[in-house]
Amino acid sequence: MADHMKFLYAILLFTITESVFSLPMAAPSSDTSGPHFTSIQGPRVVTAGVRTDFTCSADCTPECTYTWRVSGQQVEGKAVTLTLDGHRDSVELECTALNPTSRDSQSARNTVKINNPVMVVPTTSSNPFEGDAFSLACKGSGPGITTLWLKDNELFPTDSRMRFTDNNGTLVFSSLLPSDAGFYTCVVANSTIKVASRGYLLSFRTITVTIEGPDTVVAGVEHNFTCVPNCSLECSISWRFKQFPQGSFKASGTLVRWTPARPGLVQDFTCVAENKLAQRTAQYTKRVLVSGPPPTIPPSPPPKPSASVMERPSFILLTLVCLQLLFALSA
Ligand SMILES: *[C@@H]1O[C@H](CO)[C@@H](O)[C@H](O)[C@H]1NC(C)=O
Ligand SMILES: *[C@@H]1O[C@H](CO)[C@@H](O)[C@H](O)[C@H]1NC(C)=O
Ligand SMILES: *[C@@H]1O[C@H](CO)[C@@H](O)[C@H](O)[C@H]1NC(C)=O
Ligand SMILES: *[C@@H]1O[C@H](CO)[C@@H](O)[C@H](O)[C@H]1NC(C)=O
């Protein structure tokens, strides 16, 4: 290699090494940034009792530390594995990314829906009554699965009126007593997973509902309908319609305000009272007839054909007679 070439090569090498070394040297002092774009990765819907992984991430220099908050509990780490119980329909996950240098933080939240295939359902068709037989099934129980029953979240003493069948899959009462009222859940487990069911509220209280309001309404006039629940067992109400009411209509809470538009219609209003935990509903349907408005507008139905046949020729005849009369007079 010629001398001048050696020299150039040395410069080149120096420049490369210099730049290689200088790159990270320039960075650290100024580069503290984030957290930005903090987010949670994981499924939006999980199955109760199944282990599920969630990861938190953020753009952060230097690397952030992460803290999770799940139903009042705090967990450290970028990733968490959660086994969500089936008592609730959903759970709120919160992850906070913290920059260890700047102490800046940012949080992300996700609501995760919990599917619980395990539930307690009554298998007796009628509502529970004192003195009647009644049975509950633990859906999700089966062969090779251990099933435990809880009342108000505790194991409960059984007596001769109670019987467990199908490997504890069913709880049978030969005759209900007031003391049987309570919130029943079952816990199913195999060797790998354990799931608490959605519960059933056994209650002797009642739900009934009626609707107050007129049977006949006038088009163009406002009428009120009120849903009147009589629930000794706590209930929520909702309105349902086979067809949505025409005209001006507003439902809020127990009150419906309706100004029907067209006469001649029949409208059904249904009010449903429900207690989800007791898996009970009651409903009432009111049928309302819309009569015509006060007679200010001329009647819309066409005149009877027999009448029109009679009327029209006579009108034409009359016109002709008049015209002839005019000609006769002017001539
Ligand atoms: C049935 O329930 C009892 C307690 O109520 C429990 O000791 C037993 O292990 C359960 N059996 C099965 C098959 O789940
Ligand atoms: C336990 O139940 C889960 C969910 O049904 C199933 O995926 C798993 O294979 C079961 N384990 C055993 C050992 O049967
Ligand atoms: C319907 O109820 C509302 C609210 O209670 C009331 O202001 C309105 O006057 C009522 N309308 C009729 C026609 O009774
Ligand atoms: C509500 O229901 C209870 C029990 O069925 C009954 O005794 C009571 O008379 C009802 N009240 C009204 C206002 O209908």
User: What is the dotted CATH code of the domain comprising 207-291?
Assistant: 2.60.40.10
Please tell me the predicted confidence (pLDDT) of residue 243.
Answer: 85
User: Sorting pLDDT into bands at 50, 70 and 90, what band is 293?
Assistant: low
Which H, E and C letters describe 297-320, residue by residue?
A: CCCCCCCCHHHHHHHHHHHHHHHH
Ligand nearest to the Cα of 225, by number? 3
Torsion over CA: 213, 219, 221, 222 (sign): positive
According to DSSP, the β-strands at 216-218 and 280-291 are parallel
According to DSSP, the β-strands at 134-139 and 236-240 are unpaired
Ligand nearest to the Cα of 255, by number? 3
State in Å: Cα 192 to ligand 2 middle.
6
The vertex-146 CA angle with 128 and 180, nearest 5°, equals: 20
What CATH class is the domain 33-115?
mainly beta
pTM attached to this predicted model = 0.69
User: Sorting pLDDT into bands at 50, 70 and 90, what band is 246?
Assistant: confident
Domain layout of the chain by residue ranges: 33-115, 119-202, 207-291
According to DSSP, the β-strands at 79-83 and 119-122 are unpaired
- Ligand 4 pocket residue status of 236, Cβ below 6 Å: no
Give the pLDDT mean for 212-225.
Answer: 94
Q: For 149-161, what is each residue's pLDDT tens digit?
A: 999 999 999 999 9
Instruction: Say yes or no to pLDDT of 94 above 70.
Output: yes
State in Å: Cα 225 to ligand 4 middle.
20
72 compared with 237, residue with greater pLDDT: 237
Give the pLDDT mean for 51-58.
Answer: 95
Give the chain's mean pLDDT.
83
Architecture of domain 119-202: Sandwich (2.60)
State in Å: Cα 167 to ligand 1 middle.
7
Give the pLDDT mean for 28-44.
Answer: 86
Percent of the chain whose predicted confidence (pLDDT) is above 90: 67
- Ligand 4 pocket residue status of 206, Cβ below 6 Å: yes
